[in-house]
Chain A
Amino acid sequence: MKTVMMSSLLLLLFYVFALAAQSEQASGIFPYPYHKKVLDNGLKVIIIPMESPGLVAYYSIVRTGSRDEYEPGHSGFAHFFEHMMFRGTKKYPGSVYDKLITEMGADANAYTSDDLTCYHLNFASEDLEKVMELESDRFQNLYYEEQAFKTEAGAVHGEYLKSLSSPWFLLSEKLMDTAFDVHTYKHTTIGFRQDIEAMPTMYEYSLSFFNRYYRPENVVLVIVGDVNPASTMELVKKYYGNWKPGYVPPQIPAEPEQQAERTANVTYNGETLPILCVAYKSLAFDPKSKTMAACVLLGDLAFGETSDIYKKLVLNEQRVQFISADFNSARDPQLLTIWTMIKREDDIDNIKNEIYRTIEHFKQEAVSKQKLNDLKRRLKYSFLMGLETPDDVAGSLARYIALTGDIEAVNQLYETYEQVTPADIRDAANNLLVEQKRTVVVLKGGQKS
């Protein structure tokens, strides 16, 4: 009996390797060959066979997030809608969908951010067709009644409540609200409180949201793991081929150029060390843009763990608990933000000035080639070491795919990183880290409870 089983196993392994050998060869940093197809209705499908013990990651990436909530009073709706997608269809109502997913022992969940909503499942490869049937069904035939819609609004409110005790949540909310005037990045993904509280009244709107955004042209399907590309592609055609196109792009207002520095303060109803964030309007994600790539690298070079300011403020003088910079890759220009948690309230202004001095330094002096190369190497290894499982691979690609609609963005981005020179870093600092594009927010603890 054991011999039979081992033979099946070896066949399985052989099958995986054989498939990999027949696939298109990948070029660039992404190490796995992949198969890509756009169906007639606009649905893009990316299949990545990968050696994995019978596991498959199945990601449905909807290129809609809180960025698409341009209509007043509807902030937070993309995330709320993500919840509704688990309420099922007439064929497979929510409870039946749940039961079938449970029977498969699948790890199924979803998340929403500014530029995407992502539905992801990990399961045994034998369940691929059933999963595809269920997923294609809910994306095409979602059905729920108003009562279920209203009940789910309570769960979203609960999700909002659980976030409120975090100072980081309050700070991010204030930062986005201050930095943006008209663009939908003004609100966080979960939305403004008053809009969340009004959600139970938006049943009709939810149907329109589904009809406009949950369309094949706006979705990319990524399937990674122990799969046969040819037969999987056939299954995709079978289950998604009749999905009707009809995507209506959102009318997102462009953010006017910021003309002057903005500041804001937040009081937190609890104890915390003060948190300072200094944010600059940056660039939309463009994997071919050397300026954008330089901007991403600049944040880490100037404020990362091996930067001079980190050594000074975190390790030597120990005046801040940490400092870091974060370039938010997004479809429209977003923020490059420097975050730091300061040990003494009376040191906030001094720390702010240290940050400004660091920026000035990067405007004047080109970073050393060695430092820049170390960072490029770090990015490469960081990416490669994060591709261990099918879920890792699909998860790492999801945002790039959402931002550009294509997997090629990954290879392009890392190629562009390679081209960035120390002079590009200096230019990025001069062009982007300027006072008129700056928003500074300080959060302090309030009275003790």
Chain B
Amino acid sequence: MKSPMIVFAMAILFGFLYAGCRSSLNDQTVLLKVSSDPTISFAIWFKVGSQNDPSGKEGLAQLTAAMLTEASTQQNSYDQILEQLYPMAASYSASVDKEMTVISGRIHRDNLDRYFDLFTQAIISPAFKPEDFERIKSNTINYLEKTLRYANDEALGKEVLYQAIFKQTPYGHPEAGLIESVKSITLDDIKNFYKKYFARDNLVIGIGGGFDNELVHRLKQALNKLPKGAPVPVEKPSPLPIDGRQVILVEKDTRSSAISIGFPIDVLRGEDDFYALWLANSWFGEHRNSSSHLYQVIREARGMNYGDYSYIECFPNGWARQFPAPNVGRRQQIFEIWIRPVQTEAAHFALRAAIRELQKLVDNGMTQQDFELTRKFLKKYYLHYAPTTSLRLGYQLDDKFYGVQDHLKKFPEMLDRLTLEQVNAAIKRHLQYQNLKIVIVTNNAIALKQALIADAPSPMKYVTPKPAEVLQEDREIERYPLNIKPENVTIIPVAELFLR
């Protein structure tokens, strides 16, 4: 009896902290009062993102946001800003995704007044100095030309997967932009973009922590100085249908192969099927968790790599985060499988293993036992998603994006109502294994292409002994037909990526 009681009390307490004290003034404000919190969190959401980048100017949204948060204001040069933030151990930053730009910061209440001015000035009176622009633009080009292409094969594979799925849509380029496009962006482009999108009618104000109502009033007054304007909404992206299994091999000098697999799904946070699919996905590939079934098959039983996960919502920076970041709201999501680097000679086998498991999930659904265990897991695990005021504030902004009434509160309620049949029906409705985009970053592209097309057995060679049942299953995996057509395999040298 004790157990459900306390869990319920926890849920209520969470609700008390993040919902009970909320008193939204209007649609443009999210207030999350936590009186015991000695800090105040700010999050100003502008309804703009990389989907608003004009063609040929990809990267403009992110550069513009950086010109607010990493540059001078009309009141202070950037070095003066750094000087003033320094003793407060404070900062502010912008996160730019496809559809959302959120400028956020957090300050100890001792330093609120000094910080407030710096934070609001960054948003309402940026200086747009050429020297700041050159610095930020040069850093962005370096990121695209070098870091994204070379420094992390997993990040590269995921980015190429998103590009492939959303080709010719407003989601079809990295938020940082494309190399030639970023090079072509001028300071005037930045100023015009700012005027158009950083408008007072295009934002939602979020404040969390130990603030008072006077602060809300001050913040609203400050942001009221932004120009009027309601930009034209961008249409929801319509990714082209995927016909068969389409493979992109990114050729690169690397010792291992990183694999990403995906396809668009029509499920968004807040919908009934979302919660059913979240549960199924948690069982199949919970992020960086040994409870992930894919992890069990590929890492745990076979020791092939460091981890194997799947997603129904975009999860940026997964190698650095244990839990999803807020403010990645998107109207079009994909189902994504992430196979962390395997030895190159094992790439074919790993791909087969992952798709075979996906097929088993789609064809057979979950068992009652796995369903119950995963539901039990999620009912407590979700409490780790947003343990801090700033994270809960982020989730509440996302609620406005998705039009959900308190997702973190709804989540356990929906889990309670779910049945195995609903979960398995949602799997059937939204997941499939025939039409996939597959990206593999490898140094062995030509040989791998031939092997994939030939569809010949790809036996695993282990340096260490494995149990008989693993070896027996391997015989099925190594022959699992991928049916990849020659015209569906493309090789791209890494140096040709993200150009324009």
Contact = CB atoms under 8 A, between A and B. Distances in A.
Given A270-B252, A271-B146, A378-B87, A391 B387 contact: yes
Interface stretch (A206-214, A229-237, A314-322, A353-361): A314-322
A421 interface: no
Interface size class of B (residues with CB under 8 A): 35 or more
A273 B146 contact: yes
B253 A105 contact: no
Interface stretch (B92-100, B149-157, B451-459): B149-157
B67 to A, nearest CB: 14
Interface in B239-257: 251-256
A151 B464 contact: yes
B254 to A, nearest CB: 6
Contacts of B9: 5, 8-9, 12, 54
Nearest to A322: B139
A161 B256 contact: yes
Contacts, number: 234
A384 B146 CA distance: 36
A6 interface: yes
A381 B112 CA distance: 13
Given A151-B466, A200-B463, A389-B388, A165 B146 contact: no
Q: Which of A157, A168, A272, A449 has the most CB of B within 10 A?
A: A449
Interface string A363-402: 0000000000111011111101100110100000000000
Q: Which of B14, B256, B319 has the most CB of A within 10 A?
A: B256
A345 interface: no
Contacts of A181: none
Contacts of B5: 8
Nearest to B464: A150
A6 B5 CA distance: 11
Interface string A153-184: 11101110110111110000000000000000
A42 B38 CA distance: 37
Contacts of A164: 254-256
Nearest to A446: B253
Interface string B25-53: 00000000000111100000000000000
A291 interface: no
Q: Which of B5, B377, B462 has the most CB of A within 10 A?
A: B377
Given A152-B303, A343-B138, A385-B106, A106 B89 contact: no
A381 B87 CA distance: 8
Contacts of A269: 253
A276 interface: no
A388 B253 CA distance: 43
A123 B380 contact: yes
A151 B138 contact: no
Q: Is the interface of B mostly helix, strand, loop or mixed?
A: helix
Interface in A259-276: 268-273
Interface string B373-387: 110111111111001
Given A161-B256, A162-B341, A385-B106, A54 B10 contact: yes
Contacts of A159: 306
Contacts of A53: 10, 13-14, 17, 383
Contacts of B78: 315
Given A164-B256, A272-B151, A126 B388 contact: no
Kindly list the 4 A-B residue pairs having the minimum CB-CB distance in the complex, ordered from nearest.
Answer: A154-B303, A105-B380, A150-B464, A270-B150
Interface of A: 5-6, 8-9, 12-13, 51-55, 86, 98-99, 101-107, 109, 122-126, 147, 150-155, 157-159, 161-162, 164-168, 200, 268-273, 304-306, 311, 314-316, 318, 321, 343, 373-375, 377-382, 384-385, 388-389, 391, 445, 448-449
22 contacts: A54-B13, A98-B290, A99-B373, A102-B376, A103-B373, A105-B376, A105-B380, A105-B384, A150-B465, A153-B303, A154-B302, A158-B304, A161-B305, A166-B151, A271-B150, A272-B147, A273-B142, A374-B87, A378-B89, A388-B387, A389-B387, A449-B493
Interface of B: 2-3, 5-10, 12-14, 16-17, 36-39, 78-79, 82-83, 86-90, 106, 108, 110-111, 131, 134-135, 138-139, 142, 145-147, 149-154, 251-256, 258, 288, 290-291, 299-306, 319, 322-323, 340-343, 373-374, 376-384, 387-389, 462-467, 493-495
Given A158-B303, A273-B146, 6 more contacts: A102-B291, A150-B464, A155-B305, A306-B86, A381-B110, A385-B39
